[in-house]
Amino acid sequence: MTGEGTVRAARTGGWCDARFTAVRDAFAANFAERGETGAAACLSVDGRVVADLWGGWAACEPGRPWQRDTLVNVFSVGKGLIAACVARLIGQGRLDADAPVARYWPEFGAAGKAAVTLRQLLSHQAGLPALRAPLPDGSVLDWPLMVSALAAEPP
């Protein structure tokens, strides 16, 4: 807070190719007009970065500006990205939505999941709402531990 009832304006940083100034302007508008707290976006076209932007605050309370290297938990944001990637791979014939997940990830077939298809998994019909076994703090950041826990989970 900069004074009674006022909040400092969110800052933006980064750069973009001149062809993508509309992207930069829309990104900045998220803070100025839409109440966004903090964010970053990087846009690549044909393997070349054309916009690398960041702005706002790294915490709910203004004072710590978002930086290029600000870390953030993405949690469910990845679901949309995964869905787009999977849809593309299915469209290219590199994944089969009706194939068992175990075709692509053999360990997943453990604990009665051998017949679970990719389609069932992606549409939340595989009977895997959560990991039931308690895991130590920090487990979500331990890729080998999480992969083995997910593979071992019974439906």
Q: Please write the tens of the pLDDT for every residue from 9-38.
A: 668 899 999 999 999 999 999 998 998 999
Q: Are residues 86 and 64 in the same domain?
A: no
52 pLDDT exceeds 90?
yes
pLDDT band, very low/low/confident/very high, at 49 (cuts 50, 70, 90) = very high
Q: Are residues 143 and 86 in the same domain?
A: yes
Q: Rg of the chain's alpha carbons, rounded to an integer?
A: 21
Chosen domain end from 55, 72, 89: 72
Q: Are residues 81 and 61 in the same domain?
A: no
40 pLDDT exceeds 80?
yes
**What are the pLDDT digits (tens) for 104-129?**
999 999 999 999 999 999 999 999 99
Q: Are residues 41 and 93 in the same domain?
A: no
Catalytic residues, by residue number, are 76
Q: Are residues 147 and 121 in the same domain?
A: yes
* Chain mean pLDDT for the chain: 89
The pTM assigned to this predicted structure is: 0.60
Q: Are residues 45 and 105 in the same domain?
A: no
**Residues constituting the chain:** 155
CB 100 within 8 Å of CB 114: yes
73 pLDDT exceeds 70?
yes
Number of domains the chain is built from: 2
Q: Are residues 124 and 107 in the same domain?
A: yes
Q: Are residues 95 and 122 in the same domain?
A: yes
Angle at 119 between CA 127 and CA 117, to 5 degrees: 65
List, in order, residues 6 or more apart from 152 with CB less than 8 Å away.
Answer: 110, 111
Q: End-to-end alpha-carbon separation of the chain, Å? A: 49
* Residue 86 domain boundaries: 77-152
pLDDT band, very low/low/confident/very high, at 1 (cuts 50, 70, 90) = very low
Chosen domain end from 19, 39, 72: 72
Q: Are residues 89 and 115 in the same domain?
A: yes
